[in-house]
Amino acid sequence: MRARRILVAGPSGSGKTTLARRIAAAAGVPHTELDGLHWLAGWTPNPDFDAEVAALAATDAWVTEFQYQRVRPLLASRADLLVWLRPPSAVVLQRVVRRTVLRRLRGQVLWNGNVEAPLRTFFTDPDHIVRWSARTMGDAEGWVRGAKAVAPALPVVQVRSRRDAARLLALLRADRFGAR
């Protein structure tokens, strides 16, 4: 089966977006970052988010991150493949801290003009991305179970290491170019 609609699940900081971009390139399908659809300027949630995700899910080919609970069932029902990122917890926390600090120090623009909050908000905001990642790290297993409940035949590939990711990308490229 050639995967054309692919979800990438994992906790914040696990590398979902990075791997999703690489998967999209290997499979020859477009990547849409859900955070880019969800967050408008000023970190305002997009009131049309659900409709935009439904429009994305209705297309024939896409790769996106498996986040935002309310749209997970729709995405799972349309997906051909779910990739479950499962790096060690210490790796995830290291990545999310490093990414957050670098984005803030560089003033990196994320989605629709938004930038990371000041670093001091780690101490004041219970939903600061680093705290969120630590708190929800074990939730991905439930997200995958939920996807399988919606779509029992949905194949799930676990990626625990860079080697696993490289193998998956090679398989997707082979499927794309018929080199099996």
Does the predicted TM-score (pTM) go above 0.85? yes
* Residues 136, 19, 58: CA angle, nearest 5 degrees: 85
pLDDT (tens digit per residue) in 101-111: 999 999 999 99
Sheet-wide strand order for 5-9: 62-65, 5-9, 81-85, 156-159
pLDDT score of 180 more than 70: no
Give the closest residue to 112 by CA, choosing from 42, 34, 56. Answer: 42
pLDDT score of 179 more than 90: no
Spatial distance between the Cα atoms of 125 and 80, rounded to a whole number of angstroms = 37
pLDDT (tens digit per residue) in 72-96: 999 999 999 999 999 999 999 999 9
pLDDT (tens digit per residue) in 27-55: 999 999 999 999 999 999 999 999 999 99
pLDDT score of 138 more than 80: yes
**Domain at 5-88+139-177, CATH homologous superfamily:** P-loop containing nucleotide triphosphate hydrolases (3.40.50.300)
* Sequence spans of domains, the chain: 5-88+139-177
pLDDT of the residue at 159: 97
Q: Are 15 and 88 in contact (CB under 8 A)?
A: no
Q: What residues pair up with 158 in beta bridges, in sequence order?
A: 84
Q: Are 44 and 170 in contact (CB under 8 A)?
A: no
